[in-house]
Amino acid sequence: MCNFLGEDSPEHLIFSANATDSLNTLIHGFVASQKEKIHVLSTTLEHNSVLRPLHYLTKQDKISVDYVPFHDSIVNPEKITEAVTSKTQLVVMNHGSNVLGSVQDIRAVCEYLHDKGIFSIVDGSQTAGHILIDLSSINPDAFVFTGHKALFGMPGIGGFYIRDPEQVIPVRMGGTGSDSGNLDQPVDLPERYEIGTHNYPGIASLIAGVNFIRATGMKKMKEKAEQQTRFMIDELSAESAITIYNHKPDLPIIALNISGLDNDDVGFILARKDNILVRTGLHCAPFVHQAIDNGAGCVRISLSWFTTDEECRIATDAIKEIAHHANHTI
Amino acid sequence: MRIIRSNRHKYCADGSFMKEFVLDSEVTPEFLDFLKRFGTLEMLPGLGEGFYKFEKKDCFSIKGFVNESGFEVRFKKEVMDFTSDFLYSLLYYYQNGKPDFKTLSRREEALIERVKTRLYGSSS
C-alpha cells in the first residue's frame, strides 16, 4: 500500500476505519499539539469530514479558519499562498473534489507550505486509485485515503500516510500489542495511531484492490474512465434542460441538475424506473453546493472500472428522457 | 386503500423524515385526482407509467409512479405526529373511489389549525 502511494516507509502508513477517521486523527492531533490558537486554511471544495472537525475546533476557540474559494472547479494555488498569514500553521485540502471531479494542484501547494513550515493534510479520498499518486514527489505532510472507492476495498478501511508523526499527537489511546507494561501510548509507528483490533478483512481487501489495479493497469483504467465520462458529458450537454457543473472533470464524476426538477426526484426516478443508482443532495460538501447551485444540491453520477459502455448509454438515455419530460404539470 | 407496511425510513438532509410505504392497491390516476384536492400535484406522465409528486404544504410530500402499489412520503418532522394520521385518513376515506369528503374536509381543517399552531405559533 505504501509503495502504491510512492513511498518506502511502510511504518508511516497508518490504517484506520475510513478517510473521515484519518482526517479526525490528523486534524485534532495536530491542533492538540499546538500551544496556542492557530490559523487554519482550507477550501470550499471540502467534504464534511474536514469541515465538521474544523467547525468544532473553531467553536472550541482552538483555531480560526478561512476557506479559499474555487473557481471553475479549481482552487488556484496562488489563492492559498495569498491567504496564508503569519499565524497559519495548518492547511487541509482535498486532492479531488467528490462533487466536481476536479483534481487540485497539490504539488504546488505542498511545495509552498513545506518551504513555509506549514503542516499540510491532503484528502485523497477521491483520487487514490484513480490517478497515480507519488507522495515522495508531492511531499504533503499527511495524505489521507479511503479503501472503498477507487481502491476497490471493503467499506470500513482507510488510512493515511504521515511524514513526521511528532507533529500530530495521538488523540486516541489503547492496546497495541506492544510495550504493554507502559501506560503511555507508544511513540513508535504505526502503534502511535493504530489502536485496538485491526480490520484485517478490510486491509486484505484493500491490498487485493491495489493488486487488481496494478494487474489491470492504472493507465488503461484511467483511459476507459475518461472516455466514458467524456461520452456522457458530451451527450448530456446537448440537452438544454441539463446543467453540468464541470464539463471537464479529471475524475469519473458528473454533477448535474435538470431544470424544473428537484435533484432528489431525478434520483428517485432513475432508481425506480431504470434501476440506476446516483447520489443526490449535498454529497456532504455544503460549500461546494452553495457555490454551484445555491445550496439546493445536485445529481452525481460516479463511474467505476466495472461500469460498462452499455450502462453509460442506458444512464445517459434515461437522464435525457427525464429532461425531455420535465416541466409537465397538471 | 391502506398501508400494508413501511419498508424503509431515513432522516433526509432537508430535515424531513422519509418513509417508504407498501400499499394494498395501486395508485391510480383516479386516486391522484382525489389527492390533488388536498394539495398540489405535479406529474411527469411520460416517464414510465407516470411519475407524480404530491405536496401538502407544511405537512408532507408523496412521490411515486402511477400503477405502483407503493410510494415514498417525506414528513415534516416537527408535525409528523399528527400529519401521519391525516395521511392514513386520506387513504382510508378514499374508499376505493367513493371518497368521504365530508369527514376528510373536517379532519383537514383541524389538521391545518394544529400544524400552523405548532409551526408558527398561531392558527391564523
| Predicted-assembly ipTM surpassing the 0.95 threshold | no
Q: How confident is the model at residue A259 (pLDDT cuts 50, 70, 90)?
A: very high
- Locate the chain B residue with the closest alpha carbon to A297: B13
Cβ contact (<8 Å) for B51 and A329?
A: no
Domain boundaries, chain A: 3-215, 218-325
Please report the pLDDT score of residue B12 as a whole number.
Answer: 77
Residue A330 pLDDT > 70: no
Cβ contact (<8 Å) for B53 and A330?
A: no
Residue A289 pLDDT > 50: yes
- In the DSSP assignment, the letter for residue B97 is G
Residue range B77-102: mean pLDDT, rounded: 90
Q: How confident is the model at residue B122 (pLDDT cuts 50, 70, 90)?
A: confident
CA torsion sign for A206, A211, A212, A217 is positive
Q: What is the CATH number of domain A218-325?
A: 3.90.1150.10
- Locate the chain A residue with the closest alpha carbon to B42: A329
Prediction pTM value: 0.92
E strands in chain A: 13-16, 38-43, 63-68, 88-94, 119-123, 142-146, 158-162, 242-244, 253-258, 279-281, 298-302
Tens-place pLDDT, residues A38-79: 999 999 999 999 999 999 999 999 999 999 999 999 999 999
Residue range A311-325: mean pLDDT, rounded: 96
Tens-place pLDDT, residues B34-65: 999 999 999 999 898 999 999 999 999 999 99
Contacts of A322 in chain B (CB under 8 A): 44, 47
Instruction: Say whether B48 sits in a helix, a strand or coil.
Output: coil
Tens-place pLDDT, residues B16-30: 899 999 999 999 999
Contacts of B68 in chain A (CB under 8 A): 272
CATH architecture of the domain with residue range A3-215: 3-Layer(aba) Sandwich (3.40)
Distance from C-alpha of B41 to C-alpha of A323, rounded to nearest angstrom: 19
Percent of chain A with pLDDT over 70: 99
Closest residue to A269, CB basis, from B13, B42, B47: B47
Does the CB of B55 have a partner CB in chain A at under 8 Å?
no
Please report the pLDDT score of residue A90 as a whole number.
Answer: 98
Domain boundaries, chain B: 3-120
Cβ contact (<8 Å) for B42 and A329?
A: yes
Please report the pLDDT score of residue B38 as a whole number.
Answer: 95
- Locate the chain B residue with the closest alpha carbon to A324: B46
Residue A328 pLDDT > 70: no
Cβ contact (<8 Å) for A329 and B43?
A: yes
Cβ contact (<8 Å) for B43 and A330?
A: yes
Q: Provide the mean pLDDT of chain B.
A: 91
